[in-house]
Amino acid sequence: MESLYREHILDHYRHPRNQGTLDDADISYQLDNEVCGDVVRLDVRLRDGRVSEARFSGHGCVISTASASMLTEEILGKTVDELKALRDEDVFKMLGITLQPVRARCGLLPLRVLQGGLAHLEETS
Amino acid sequence: MALNPDFLRADFPILAREVNGKPLAYLDNAASTQHPRVVIEAVAEFYRAHYANVRRGIYTLSEEATAAYESARDKVAAFVHAPDRRGVVFTRNTTESINLVAYAWGRANVERGDRIVVTEMEHHSNLVPWQLLARQVGAELAFVSVTGDGVLDLESLDRLLEGPVRLVAFTHLSNVLGTLNPAQEIVARAHAAGALALVDAAQSVPRLPVDAGALDCDFLAFSGHKMCGPTGIGVLYGRPQLLEEMPPFLTGGGMIRRVGRTEASWDDLPWKFEAGTPAIAEAVGLGAAVDYLSAVGMDVLWAHEQALTAYALERLAEVPGVCVIGPPQPPPQAGGRLSQPSSHAGERSSVPPPHAGGRGGVIAFIVESIHPHDLAQVLDGEGVAIRAGLHCAQPLHERLGLMATARASVYLYNTRQEIDRLVEGIRTAQRLFLGG
């Protein structure tokens, strides 16, 4: 079972990439996981239609934190359409593990935040 | 007479299985408990040999099924010392029992400007129904505060009771803190203020002797699946006079006396509140669970739980970075007065009153720098099942400034060795996530 906590996941948990917030980001969105109280916020800055900077903040378990950390690296340079095309499977592939339904909610929370932010971006633009 | 869990464990088939290659240590009993063979067999035997619908069929099977269903009601009534079996309504679970009161009693009796009092330590099931009622009729929802030690501040209750209070709804034993609230005292104060009292006994009825008559509460709600019984069967005990005056909750078949084209009249209690085909086999299973627990003795069970809780608190205190939420100690009387041999059901005076001010075997804790989810995951790898998250008590977590907690909860079959494995598993998680 501890195989969930593979070295690359623990590495992202212990040394999270792109942790923090961005002022006047183009996408800024936050969600809670109501089951466990985890909170993830994503701030994304776009330049020439592509992600130029991404930051995450909040608090969560190893899986949601590592997933957020990896996602901020994964989306760099992607277009808005490419972000919209991201699927749950892409997150599982990124994490390199399969998650049971309850833990999948942790792992997918950062993607849900991104999707919420994209929907908001569409509404306001 | 002390309970020997090693002896009892053989009664529970599931406890023999392995999880992730390790013996199962099941420590999520506040969520749901496991089933002794006698309960599993009672349900199976009922389906094998006696099953039919109840209360309508004029044939042997239906009469047998009805007798079994109603006999389960009698067992449950005796188990919680309900003064009148007509007040014992079978529901699906505690949540449905409380919703029944919120809808049937609440909509008919609570008006704009009235106050409903709950506490800051309620499970969502004893909070959300009152939120909806309050919003719908324009009533005020007020909260008895919880101190930093995880006990109720009864002075804040007294202040709240000075208003137009219709109901005080509170948990008998907190599903997060383990706190055993002074239920008798709270009921008495509610009554003195002219309010009714509802006791959420989901955690207390499974764990200690509960006497609905002595508590003098107006409503008592609990679930079968937290006391060795099946899922899908719960209980509402209500004062029969109140239940008589209340309109029905769910309506349809089974709960009517006569139905015309545009109107209907209701059956007698308790059937007025049991619309549709009930959970018959589940009720029979709950009856078997009550027989099992009575044979063990609820006072013996409670004493075992108190001793195991004291041991767990002691062991957890040894681990650096572990912080237990809730009252620090079980009551000092544990193992004394409450550990007398079991009394026979019906001899009410011989049931010791639950000691208030202490705690039961529901132990929420946090481990510094480790998210409860990750802790639970690592423990699962060791075969140890605990709960992680908000435990359906988000306002309480917010009140205590906690994001989430881990929760270990014990029952009659748990052992000191399982507590040792919990502690060892926490250390394993600390090595994995924190190094060293």
Instruction: Say which of A5, A10, A36 has its CB closest to residue B389.
Output: A36
From chain B, pick out residues whose CB is under 8 angstroms from the CB of A32: none
Does B336 have pLDDT greater than 70? no
Does B346 have pLDDT greater than 70? no
A6-63: pLDDT as tens digits: 899 999 999 999 999 999 999 999 998 877 778 999 999 999 999 999 999 999 999 9
Residue B55 region by backbone torsions, left for phi larger than 0, else alpha for psi between -120 and 50, else beta:
left
Q: Where are the domains of chain B?
A: 5-32+297-434, 41-291
**What pLDDT, on a 0 to 100 scale, did the predictor assign at position B7?**
85
Does the annotation count B217 as an active-site position? no
The residues facing B406 across adjacent strands are B365, B388
Question: How many structural domains comprise chain A?
Answer: 1
From chain B, pick out residues whose CB is under 8 angstroms from the CB of A38: 371, 403-404
**What pLDDT, on a 0 to 100 scale, did the predictor assign at position B189?**
98
Q: Which residue of A has its CA nearest to B381?
A: A1
Tokens of B3: 């309970």
Class of domain B5-32+297-434: alpha beta
Write out the DSSP string of B235-253. Answer: EEEE-HHHHHHSPPSS-ST
**What pLDDT, on a 0 to 100 scale, did the predictor assign at position B330?**
58
From chain A, pick out residues whose CB is under 8 angstroms from the CB of B432: 2, 5, 10
Distance (Å, whole) CA B334 – CA B388: 28
**Nearest-CA distance from B374 to chain A in Å?**
6
Does B231 have pLDDT greater than 90? yes
Q: Which of B165, B169, B167 is nearest to B122 (CA)?
A: B169
Does B124 have pLDDT greater than 70? yes
Instruction: Say which of A13, A35, A59 has its CB closest to residue B389.
Output: A35
Q: Compute the Cα dihedral for B91, B97, B103, B108 and give only its sign.
A: positive
| A107 contacts A95 by C-beta, under 8 angstroms | yes
From chain A, pick out residues whose CB is under 8 angstroms from the CB of B377: 1-2, 4-5, 103
Mean pLDDT computed over B337-365: 54
**What pLDDT, on a 0 to 100 scale, did the predictor assign at position B329?**
66
Q: What ipTM is given for this predicted complex?
A: 0.83
CATH number reported for the structural domain that contains residue A93 in this entry: 3.90.1010.10
From chain B, pick out residues whose CB is under 8 angstroms from the CB of A13: 433
Does B28 have pLDDT greater than 50? yes
Does B44 have pLDDT greater than 70? yes
**Letter for the amino acid at A32?**
D
Distance (Å, whole) CA B64 – CA B50: 6
- Kind of pairing, strands B165-171 and B115-119? parallel
A38 contacts chain B (CB < 8 A):
yes
**Contact across the interface for A37 and B373, Cβ inside 8 Å:** no
**What pLDDT, on a 0 to 100 scale, did the predictor assign at position B436?**
56
Q: Which residue of B has its CA nearest to A107?
A: B373
Across the A/B interface, how many CB contacts are shorter than 8 Å? 55
**What pLDDT, on a 0 to 100 scale, did the predictor assign at position B357?**
55
Q: Residue with structure tokens 């001899």?
A: B347
Q: End-to-end alpha-carbon separation of chain A, Å?
A: 45
Residue B333: pLDDT band (50, 70, 90) is very low
**Nearest-CA distance from B364 to chain A in Å?**
14
**What pLDDT, on a 0 to 100 scale, did the predictor assign at position B104?**
98
Does B388 have pLDDT greater than 80? yes
Does A101 have pLDDT greater than 90? no
Residue B343: pLDDT band (50, 70, 90) is very low
**What pLDDT, on a 0 to 100 scale, did the predictor assign at position B331?**
52
Q: Is B48 exposed, middle or buried (0-12, 13-18, 19+ CB in 10 A)?
A: exposed
Provide, for chain A, the percentages of residues in helix, strand and coil under a 3-state DSSP scheme, each rounded to the nearest 5: 50, 25, 30
**Contact across the interface for B433 and A10, Cβ inside 8 Å:** yes
**What pLDDT, on a 0 to 100 scale, did the predictor assign at position A34?**
75
Mean pLDDT computed over B332-337: 39
* CATH topology (fold) of B41-291: Aspartate Aminotransferase; domain 2 (3.40.640)
Does B150 have pLDDT greater than 50? yes
User: Containing domain of residue A107, as a range?
Assistant: 2-124
For all residues of chain B together, what is the average pLDDT? 92
**What pLDDT, on a 0 to 100 scale, did the predictor assign at position B347?**
38
B50-109: pLDDT as tens digits: 999 998 888 999 999 999 999 999 999 999 999 999 999 999 999 999 999 999 999 999
**What pLDDT, on a 0 to 100 scale, did the predictor assign at position B349?**
36
**Letter for the amino acid at A31?**
L
Query: With b meaning 16 or more CB within 10 Å and e meaning fewer, what string describes A87-118?
Result: eeeebbebbebebeeebebbbbbbbbbbbebb
Report helix angle A88-95 to A62-74, nearest 10. 100
- Kind of pairing, strands B196-200 and B165-171? parallel
The residues facing B422 across adjacent strands are none
Does B161 have pLDDT greater than 80? yes
A106-122: pLDDT as tens digits: 999 999 999 999 999 99
**What pLDDT, on a 0 to 100 scale, did the predictor assign at position B90?**
98
Q: Which of B59, B93, B15, B153 is nearest to B282 (CA)?
A: B93
